Amino acid sequence: MRAIIIGGGIGGLTTALALHAAGIGAEVFESAAEIRPLGVGINLQPHAVRELSELGLGEALAGVGVATQEFVYANRFGQEIWAEPRGLAAGYHWPQYSIHRGRLQMLLWEAARVRLGDACLHAGRRLVGFRQDAAGVAARFADGSRAEGDLLVAADGIHSVVRAAFFPNEGPPKWNGALLWRATSLAPPFRTGASMVQAGHRDRKFVCYPIGTAPDGRSIVNWIGETRLPADHPWAREDWNRPGRVADVLPLFADWRFEWLDVPALIRAAEAVYEFPMVDRDPLPWWTQGRVTLLGDAAHPMYPIGSNGASQAILDARWLALQLATQPGIEAALAAYEAARRPATAAVVEANRGDGPDRVMDLVHGRAPMGFHRLESVASQAELAALVGGYKRVAGFDPATLNARESWSPPQAR
């Protein structure tokens, strides 16, 4: 069996590695002419780290990511609403990593190159069309070349060509009116030195976490400033590398100086700022046609809330490989893949539309917009715990469930 994978992002490359581990041939076709470490920080939750660890990448990940120790919600005055340990400190068998998206992509590309061989990874190959029949599937690329295989996995991101062929009337991604500025800054370590912080509320939010350490000991801090714009603001196409300006974001957070974090100083220290509208797409009624299916952002782009976009793509990849290795045929495997992953990811898309676990901040802001003397008089721990824990269950990283569930490695690869 041979799979054609469209897209050499985190979803496509993990699919290639998972298929290879399951003894299934795969070739990756990526549109970018050269793989460069684009993007800023993302988080890999323990459920995704488990899958990459079971692919033998645990040590490599530890070398490029920061093992997140703590997660904190605060209001816009820096008053703590919720703090919890993360990763191993929270009892998971696997860490959580805050990591540069581009470095993770490079790590996966290199692992795929070594394991599958140079001949199976193709850059500069933009899919423009595909067709299938009872015997197989053929892909057509912008440079005029073609590829043939037994199945096609479309991991070509939020502007997926395959998704557009499946659903020609869908239109562009949906914007919820929020605009994000993303950047990295060098700054003194804060809190544990490996803490992820979210402060504010739905309409004005600041998120930051370290993704590395500079030679001088300062943290390389990934940060995101978010605000909601008027409904008539012109929509901008989602582009992860569109430059933004410090001057646009700084005034929104000018007085967010906490005892333990100086937000304006972080913003001023930005190396380069990128601007990104908060977009997603509606969950789909189906993902698969015959030998062709969708995966990752092509299947379920979601708001970057709850840090699950890349993690869910990794789960898709592993579950797909397990089905292809264990089901009686390709169509049965793709049906079993979709039957589990489509509802699971639709639930995360919907949860993120409701602000995901960040509802904790919205709840406290709604009841105490000017801050509080005693948090208990605003919200009970049980109420907050239910929101945070509920999201972990929806997204598949409830610690007890994750630790207890069986491996998704095919039996022959365990």
Check residue 224 for interaction with ligand FAD (CB under 6 A): no
- Tell me the closest approach of the beta carbon of residue 96 to ligand FAD, in angstroms: 14
Contacts with ligand FAD by CB under 6 A: the residue count is: 31
> What secondary structure letter does DSSP report for 377?
G
Q: What is the 3-state secondary structure (H, E, C) of 45-73?
A: CHHHHHHHHHCCCHHHHHHHCEECCEEEE
Give the span between the Cα atoms of 166 and 353, in whole angstroms.
24
Neighbours of 362 (CB within 10 A): 17
DSSP characters over 68-100: --EEEEE-TT--EEEEEE-GGGGT-SS--EEEE
Residue number, 81 or 302, with CB nearest to ligand FAD: 302
Residue number, 30 or 70, with CB nearest to ligand FAD: 30
Residue number, 72 or 147, with CB nearest to ligand FAD: 147
Residue number, 246 or 310, with CB nearest to ligand FAD: 310
Which residue from 76, 101, 318, 342 is in contact with ligand FAD, where contact means CB under 6 A? 101
CB 85 within 8 A of CB 70: yes
- Tell me the closest approach of the beta carbon of residue 224 to ligand FAD, in angstroms: 9
Give the span between the Cα atoms of 287 and 141, in whole angstroms.
22
Check residue 8 for interaction with ligand FAD (CB under 6 A): yes
- Tell me the closest approach of the beta carbon of residue 330 to ligand FAD, in angstroms: 21
- Tell me the closest approach of the beta carbon of residue 180 to ligand FAD, in angstroms: 9
- Tell me the closest approach of the beta carbon of residue 166 to ligand FAD, in angstroms: 14
**Please, which of residues 17-76 interact with ligand FAD by CB under 6 A?**
29-32, 38-40, 42
Check residue 235 for interaction with ligand FAD (CB under 6 A): no
Which residue from 127, 196, 305, 349 is in contact with ligand FAD, where contact means CB under 6 A? 127
Check residue 356 for interaction with ligand FAD (CB under 6 A): no
User: Which tokens sit at 145?
Assistant: 């070349």
Give the span between the Cα atoms of 191 and 146, in whole angstroms.
53
Residue number, 29 or 71, with CB nearest to ligand FAD: 29
**Please, which of residues 131-170 interact with ligand FAD by CB under 6 A?**
155-157, 161
Give the span between the Cα atoms of 13 and 314, in whole angstroms.
9
Give the span between the Cα atoms of 265 and 50, in whole angstroms.
36
Q: Which amino acid is at 248?
A: D
User: Which tokens sit at 195?
Assistant: 């803490």
CB 4 within 8 A of CB 29: yes
Q: Which amino acid is at 380?
A: S
Looking at 214-282, which runs of residues are DSSP E strands? 219-228, 270-280
- Tell me the closest approach of the beta carbon of residue 174 to ligand FAD, in angstroms: 15
Residue number, 54 or 156, with CB nearest to ligand FAD: 156
Check residue 89 for interaction with ligand FAD (CB under 6 A): no
**Please, which of residues 161-220 interact with ligand FAD by CB under 6 A?**
161, 182
Taking contact as CB under 6 A, which single stretch among the options 87-95, 282-290, 304-312, 352-360 is the one that binds ligand FAD?
304-312
Residue with structure tokens 């721990």?
Answer: 381
Residue number, 158 or 361, with CB nearest to ligand FAD: 158
- In the chain, the N- to C-terminal Cα span, in Å, equals 20
Nearest Cα residue to 31 out of 118, 121, 152: 121
- Tell me the closest approach of the beta carbon of residue 127 to ligand FAD, in angstroms: 4
Check residue 6 for interaction with ligand FAD (CB under 6 A): yes
- Tell me the closest approach of the beta carbon of residue 222 to ligand FAD, in angstroms: 8
Give the span between the Cα atoms of 138 and 300, in whole angstroms.
24
Residue number, 4 or 324, with CB nearest to ligand FAD: 4
Check residue 309 for interaction with ligand FAD (CB under 6 A): yes
Let me know the angle formed at the C-alpha of 147 by 166 and 315, rounded to the nearest 5 degrees.
55
Which residues bind to ligand FAD, rule: CB under 6 A? 6-12, 29-32, 38-40, 42, 101, 126-127, 155-157, 161, 182, 240, 296-298, 304, 309-310, 313
